[in-house]
Amino acid sequence: MKFPGQGQHPMNLPELSAEEAAQQQAMMALLEEEIRKARGALPFDRYMELALYAPGLGYYVSGAHKFGEGGDFVTAPEISPLFGRCLAHPCLEVFESTGTWQILEFGAGTGVMAAQILAELQRLHPDRPVSYRILELSPELQQRQRQTLQSRVPELMKHVSWVREVPRDFSGMVLANEVLDAMPVHLFRRGDQKVEEQVVGVQEGQLSLQWRSAGVELTEAVAAIEKETGKLQPGYVSEVNLRLAPWLQMLSERLPQAVVLLIDYGYTRKEYYHPQRSMGTLICHYRHQVHDDVLLRPGLQDITASVDFTAVAEAAEDAGLKLLGFSSQANVLLGCGLENLLSELDPEDVEQHMTVMQGVKQLILPTAMGERFKAIALSKGVASRLSGFSA
């Protein structure tokens, strides 16, 4: 089976290296086998799961360079060192409430945010070590995180460890920055009488997107959306994350006393399923280019969907978690002391001041990440509000 990207494409695609070509051949063989097992059609969420997380082949677990200027996208901690420094402050509030100085971070990327938080906590409380665990499935990213932490906070490396699942009976702060958008989603289309779901099959030796009648769970999920937003028009296409509720249930069962802080791009439900957003939110990132071809070079590109934060809040409540707060990234960072950190800059160092301010503007301006990105705080056994959500 041929893999996408061999022929003509509107993007200016670079030639694949020998290693990338071999990865693509292996990924396409895996997809072909999975499609055969699924009797000719793979549900989109399963295709997305394989494209992102297939052992050794998926985008997030292969050796490809993903983050930063040389990768496919740049995240907030890489834009400004003040991002992680701000988040250290709600961590302190959680430590005081739980009595445990522990952090668990999902998908730590390059490790930059972990380094920023650890350095700030050490600055504020040099005599209180923080246990920092990173849940990371990619061996390549684990190595990169180690290198980042070793170069930035070498004296704190003894307090950092890597895990492959959420520890049982974990107490403290749980962080997930741009994690929910990478969870596999179902794609649906509203028909005249019924709901359809998108599947991935093979036509003429190439991957193809097809539609079929949706299953019971997806149909019920769309019905729940329409109960709040009104009937969607025929032809309306969007996504539903059916894996969100089980994930939050798992967290609730393993966190006797903790706060979960999730930061990502997304909307409330009524905004997410607005009539004008009739083609959904699914996008792909490849070499700093944004496009919507989900079949392009699977395993070599990122595939993401915006987050329905109403669904997060509802699923959290059903799982026994309490909603502590929900706000824009800009409001949360400002509430976590961003202005105080800016006031510490040396006004005589013009170059540094301009560099820092440029990054901060990216984080908080409505036209950049400030309003597009949201933060939601959930708790289990912790009643206090976080300062970042006090507004």
* The pLDDT of residue 8: 45
Q: 139-152 and 112-124 are packed helices; what angle lies between their axes, rounded to 10 degrees?
A: 30
* The pLDDT of residue 382: 92
Number of other residues whose CB lies within 10 A of the CB of residue 139: 13
**Residue 41 falls inside a structural domain:** no
* The pLDDT of residue 286: 87
**Residue 115 falls inside a structural domain:** yes
* The pLDDT of residue 70: 53
**Residue 287 falls inside a structural domain:** no
Cα–Cα distance, 116 to 82 (Å, whole number)? 8
Number of domains in the chain: 1
Domain that holds residue 145: 76-177+258-262+310-389
> Do 304 and 24 contact (CB within 8 A), yes or no?
no
Q: What is the pLDDT along the chain (391 residues), one digit of tens a residue?
A: 655 554 445 567 788 899 999 999 999 999 999 999 999 999 999 999 999 999 999 999 876 555 555 556 689 999 999 999 999 999 999 999 999 999 999 999 999 999 999 999 999 999 999 999 999 988 889 999 999 999 999 999 999 999 999 999 999 999 999 999 999 999 999 999 999 999 999 998 899 999 999 999 999 999 999 999 999 999 999 999 999 999 999 999 999 999 999 999 999 999 999 999 999 999 999 877 899 999 999 999 999 999 999 999 999 999 999 999 999 999 999 999 999 999 888 877 888 878 888 999 999 999 999 999 999 999 999 987 788 887 5
**Residue 349 falls inside a structural domain:** yes
Q: Are strands 42-43 and 195-203 parallel, antiparallel or unpaired?
A: antiparallel
Residue 102 to residues 121, 259, 280, 322, 365, Cα–Cα distance (Å)? 12, 11, 37, 20, 31
**Residue 112 falls inside a structural domain:** yes
**Residue 107 falls inside a structural domain:** yes
Number of other residues whose CB lies within 10 A of the CB of residue 203: 9
Give Dmax over CA atoms of the chain in angstroms.
67
Number of other residues whose CB lies within 10 A of the CB of residue 233: 9
Q: Are strands 257-267 and 283-286 parallel, antiparallel or unpaired?
A: unpaired
Question: Can you give the CATH number for the domain in which 154 is found?
Answer: 3.40.50.12710
**Residue 104 falls inside a structural domain:** yes
**Residue 348 falls inside a structural domain:** yes
DSSP string computed for 60-129: TTSS---BSTTSSB--HHHH-THHHHHHHHHHHHHHHHHS--EEEEE--TTSHHHHHHHHHHHHH-TTS-
Residue 164 to residues 57, 135, 276, 367, Cα–Cα distance (Å)? 18, 5, 40, 37
Cα–Cα distance, 257 to 99 (Å, whole number)? 10
